[in-house]
Amino acid sequence: MKRNLLIACCCLGWATGATGAPITLNECLQRADQRSSALKSFEMAAKAADESLIISRTSFYPTLKLRAAYSLADHPERLIITGNSFAPSVPPHDVTLSTGDFDTYSIGLYLRQPLYTGGSLTQSQRRAEFQAEAARSDTIYQRSQVAQMVKKTFSEALAARMQVQALLKSLTGTKEQARVVQERLLEGNARREELLMANMEVSRAEAAWTKGENQAELTLTTLRNLINAEPNESIEPTGSLFKIHLNAPLSDLLTMGLQMRADLKSVQAKVQQGSADIAIARSSYFPQVSLVGSYLRQPETATLRADVWTIGAQAEWSLFEWGRTSAEVRRAAALAQQEVFRQDEARKDVLLEIEQFWRGIKDDEGQLRATEAHLVSLEYTLERLLNRYQEGLVKRSDILLMEAALWNAYAAYVQSAVNLHTTLASLERASGADLTPWMENSPLYEPDFAGIAERINQAAHPKLQLSEPALAAPATVPVEKSVTPSP
């Protein structure tokens, strides 16, 4: 009794907890695109790469800097003229002349304009462009991965309630079967082992129902995290699954994948970035020429003017660095070749991934057809069993077990549809293409559970129904011996 009350309370709690604000798949995709922290992380990386591109462009333009200084000395600067330096007694003794003050200041403007850098500035800008392109491509690919996860989790959330309901029906059937065995045991028509086995099946059904309920809640929590829902926000996925038939040729998807996959574009940008790194390293072989100018304002002294300006050209050329530049060039070449190898492997992985998911869809379509055929077969068997039940030839516990089997088959059917939807989302991400033009959708088959439940609960022919103890042991109470023939 306590166990039945606990199950009823859990069912009520699950049913009330499942109610929330309805949310569709498109709404989940939009919210994930706007709120996903993982996606925003890539967006910030792309934004940083764009700023790096702006920084690289500024190197082509002149830079103007302001420099200021102030100093306080213990003794001012001085000039000593020794005696008799110019002629006898001229000067007659050493003379000390002050050339400055105790404190001094200077303020100036300094201008620098690169004239020739051996291609370093140009290649640095190209590298920044490729970095920005790679970051944008990574963001696009991350968006497709988030969309795949949302579609997968949303489909699982839609199927979770049906699976929990199927497990609950199975639990009801096993409990009814255990009750029948209990009554048969009290009448002496069953053994103790049968009751223990029935109770064991009830425990298994309860454990499966609890596991299914927890899995449903975990799936809903995963969906909430993907769309970054508020802590107190309650959501309820709404929509329907459907059967999918994909007509897309594998060859077309392979070609589109190589052309449209964002991660391949990112790898290609990194390969080009490697070539720019090689050119940057080689620029150290050439001189660095710049135009420099300055204007300085300082205190006027006997040796210093108040205003000083200069303009000129400056060249810097590294002639000998113990092979440093050559080593940097070789390192850049090795890293660039590494990206080429990665690109080759990435292309192979993309082709294999597309083919894997394409063939997986074909397998899932076949599995869905098989589970649908099994579901239709069980529904027909249950219909025939219901006819016998209304005639009083079948026990109620057998009907409930058969109904539970039908629910389980429907749950497996829905799970097959979830697998198909999940594989389709994976193929969309793998190919980088919109597969809608190649899809043919049709609604899932759904048994008449409401009509079946109504037929089970109604007592169409109560007088013709046999008691369950009589059905449990028909051999001990033969029908022929209970009827007296007329003379």
Express each pLDDT in 366-395 by its tens digit: 999 999 999 999 999 988 888 888 777 878
pLDDT for res 422: 95
Query: What is the structure's pLDDT at 201?
Result: 86
Q: Are 389 and 399 in contact (CB under 8 A)?
A: yes
pLDDT at 301: 73
Distance CA 34, CA 27 (A): 11
Closest to 387 in 3D by CA, of 470, 480, 464: 464
Instruction: Give Cα 297 distance to the centre of its chain.
Output: 60
Distance of CA 111 to the CA centre of its chain: 49
pLDDT tens-digit profile of 19-50?
Answer: 578 999 999 999 999 999 989 999 999 999 99
* H or E element in which residue 183 lies: helix 120-186
User: Collapsing DSSP states into helix, strand and coil, what is residue 301?
Assistant: coil
Cis-peptide into 92, omega within 30 deg: no
Residue 470, pLDDT > 90, answer: no
- Percent residues over pLDDT 70 in the chain: 89
Strand partners, 71: 104
**Is residue 303 assigned to a domain?**
no
Sort strands 103-116 and 63-72 into parallel, antiparallel or unpaired: antiparallel
For residues 258, 262, 265 and 267, what is the CA-based torsion angle, rounded to 10 degrees? Answer: -100
The pLDDT mean for the chain works out to 85
Beta strands at 78-81 and 95-98: parallel, antiparallel or unpaired: antiparallel
- Domain total of the chain: 1
* Distance (Å, whole) CA 333 – CA 330: 5
Q: What is the pLDDT of residue 484?
A: 34
Of residues 469 and 315, the one with the higher pLDDT is: 315
Does residue 357 lie in a domain region?
Answer: yes
Is the residue at 485 inside a domain?
no
pLDDT at 271: 95
Six-digit token string for 215? 């899995």
Strands 235-237 and 21-23: parallel
State which H helix or E strand residue 95 sits in.
strand 95-98
| Cβ(248)–Cβ(438) below 8 Å | yes
CA angle 463, 466, 470 (to 5 degrees): 145
pLDDT at 11: 44
d(CA 348, CA 350): 5
In 3D space, the residue among 109, 85, 431 whose CA is nearest the CA of residue 257 turns out to be: 431
**Angle CA(410)–CA(413)–CA(416) in degrees, nearest 5?**
155
Encoded tokens for 1: 């009794």
Element (H, E) at 103: strand 103-116
Find the mean pLDDT for residues 154-169.
Answer: 88
Contact by Cβ (8 Å): 13, 95: no
Q: What is the pLDDT of residues 177-208, one digit of tens each?
A: 888 888 888 888 878 888 898 899 889 989 98
Rg (CA), the chain: 42
Residue 100 has pLDDT above 90, yes or no: no
pLDDT digits (tens, 9 = 90+) for 46-98: 999 999 999 999 999 999 999 999 888 777 777 788 877 777 877 777 777 77
Distance CA 232, CA 229 (A): 8
pLDDT at 296 over 70: yes
Mean pLDDT within 322-334: 93
Residue 252 placed within a domain: yes
Structural domain of residue 399, as residue ranges?
A: 2-60+121-286+325-473
Residue 460, SS3 per DSSP: coil
Number of Cβ atoms within 10 Å of the Cβ of 183: 14
pLDDT tens, 243-271?
A: 999 999 999 999 999 999 999 999 999 99
Check residue 432 and give left, alpha or beta (phi > 0: left; psi -120 to 50: alpha): left
Q: Which residue has the higher pLDDT, 357 or 20?
A: 357
Question: The tokens 């050559």 sit on which residue?
Answer: 326
Residue 483 is assigned to a structural domain of this protein: no
Structural domain contains residue 177: yes
For tokens 């490697």, name the residue.
Answer: 274
- 463 part of a folded domain: yes
Assigned domain for 181 exists: yes
pLDDT tens string 212-230 = 899 999 999 999 999 998 8
Question: What CATH number does the domain containing 152 carry?
Answer: 1.20.1600.10
Residue 472 has pLDDT above 80, yes or no: no
pLDDT of 479 reads: 34
Structure confidence at residue 80 (pLDDT): 81
